[in-house]
Structure 1
Amino acid sequence: MSAISERRERERAHRHQLIITAARELAEAEGWEAVTTRRLAERVEYSQPVLYSHFHGKDAIVSAVALDGFSELAAHLRRARQAAPELGQSLRAVCRAYLEFATERPALYQAMFILPTDLKFASTETPPPLRASFDEFVSCFRPDNERRELFAEVLWSALHGIAVLSESGRIPLQGQEERLDFLITRIAGTSSPAPGHAS
């Protein structure tokens, strides 16, 4: 590749990331309804045709934002897991980190899990950042647990439900620790169930 081609590639990658960042900032400030190609073109000071040369419409932009989000989520969960290396502690730390991530970045979380995207989950085409995020949950279960991927999937599903219901005000934010206790006890079996309850 020539020096000119390399420079053009760098410039294109820079523009691409600039559009993703602008979309994310606009969504966090005003919600995803405010993210239009016209608004983004104004914000990044490129023409709409230049924007379309990078992304074929809003869904493609949302997918790119979501992919960025999964890279961040994987790193966030990894830090939490590594800071609490014991299995029971690491699971709680990862669960808590996941709920923090969803609460602190609501528009990003929407792009990742609620809005339409072309990202493939649980398939051979799953992008590495998605798999890396899921693997942080899997790593919290004992390696000799043959069903640890199932455990991780059910746990993630429950956390997603808690995140969405909390964000929409359908369940109160207080009580998160009790919910985590219940999940970790029932799914992971890493602590004793409450007295009077069958395990």
Structure 2
Amino acid sequence: MSAQQQRRERERAARHSLIVEAAREIAETEGWAAVTTRRLSEKVAYSQPVLYSHFKGKEGIVAAVATEGFVELTAALRAARTGAADPVAALKAFAEAYLGFARAHPALYEAMFVHRTTLEFATDDSPEILKTAFAEFLATVAPLAGARDTDTLAELVWSTLHGLASLDGTDRLRPDLADGRLELLVNGVVSGGR
């Protein structure tokens, strides 16, 4: 690759990052409805055709933002899991990290798990970061699974955490019972493995 091609690739990558960052910023401050190609064009000072050369519409932009989110979530989940003293403490720390991430980054969480994107989940063609994120769920529940199928248990824990995050994020749950809900989740996973 020539020096000129390398420069073009670096410039393209920088534009891509700038667009993703701008979309995320708009979504976090004003919601995803405010993220339009026109609005992004104005914010990053590139024409709409330049945006379309990077992304196939809003779904592609949301997928790029979501991919960044999975990198961040995976790091937070891994840190919580590996920083715990035992498997039960790891599950609790993991759940707290997941719910804390959703609470701290509501628009990012929405891009990852609510909006339609071009990302494929649970297939051989899934992006590697999605597989890596799910591997954190597997690593967390495996020591507690007992005779249960680890993949199914991981999906159940993920589904439960997603439900809690979604309901909490829309103020549907009583905040004073958050610790109790988390304790019931952990106890249910632990006692079911015996």
Residue of 154, 162, 167 corresponding to 1:160: 162
Is 2:180 aligned against 1:178? yes
Q: In structure 2, how many angstroms separate the alpha carbons of the residues matched to 1:26 and 1:142?
A: 38
Q: In structure 2, how many angstroms separate the alpha carbons of the residues matched to 1:135 and 1:90?
A: 14
Higher helix proportion: 2
Q: In structure 1, how many angstroms separate the alpha carbons of the residues matched to 2:166 and 2:63?
A: 19
* Structure 1 partner of 2:73: 73
Percent of paired sites with the same residue: 50
Report if aligned partners of 1:141, 1:188 keep a CA contact under 8 Å in 2: no
Q: In structure 1, how many angstroms separate the alpha carbons of the residues matched to 2:113 and 2:36?
A: 20
Q: 2:176 aligns to what SS in structure 1?
A: coil
Deviations 1:35-92 (A, max 9, x none): 0001101101111111111012111100111111111100111111111141111111
Normalised TM-score (structure 1): 0.91
| 1:31-42 pair list within 5 angstroms | 31-42=31-42
Q: In structure 1, how many angstroms separate the alpha carbons of the residues matched to 2:84 and 2:189?
A: 19
Q: In structure 2, how many angstroms separate the alpha carbons of the residues matched to 1:174 and 1:18?
A: 40
What is the identity, as a one-letter code, of the residue corresponding to 2:64? A
Supply the RMSD in Å over aligned alpha carbons.
1.7
Q: In structure 2, how many angstroms separate the alpha carbons of the residues matched to 1:86 and 1:171?
A: 29
Deviations 1:150-198 (A, max 9, x none): 111101100100111111121122211111111111123389xxxxxxx
Q: In structure 2, how many angstroms separate the alpha carbons of the residues matched to 1:130 and 1:173?
A: 30
Structure 1, unaligned runs of 5 or more: 192-198
Normalised TM-score (structure 2): 0.94
Q: In structure 1, how many angstroms separate the alpha carbons of the residues matched to 2:35 and 2:125?
A: 27
Q: 1:59 aligns to what SS in structure 2?
A: helix
Q: In structure 1, how many angstroms separate the alpha carbons of the residues matched to 2:21 and 2:191?
A: 41
Q: 1:72 aligns to what SS in structure 2?
A: helix
* Structure 1 partner of 2:150: 148
What is the identity, as a one-letter code, of the residue corresponding to 1:64? A
What is the identity, as a one-letter code, of the residue corresponding to 2:138? V
* Structure 2 partner of 1:63: 63
Q: In structure 2, how many angstroms separate the alpha carbons of the residues matched to 1:188 and 1:148?
A: 13
Is 2:12 aligned against 1:12? yes
Is 2:130 aligned against 1:130? yes
Structure 1 window deviating more from structure 2 (73-82 vs 133-142): it is: 133-142
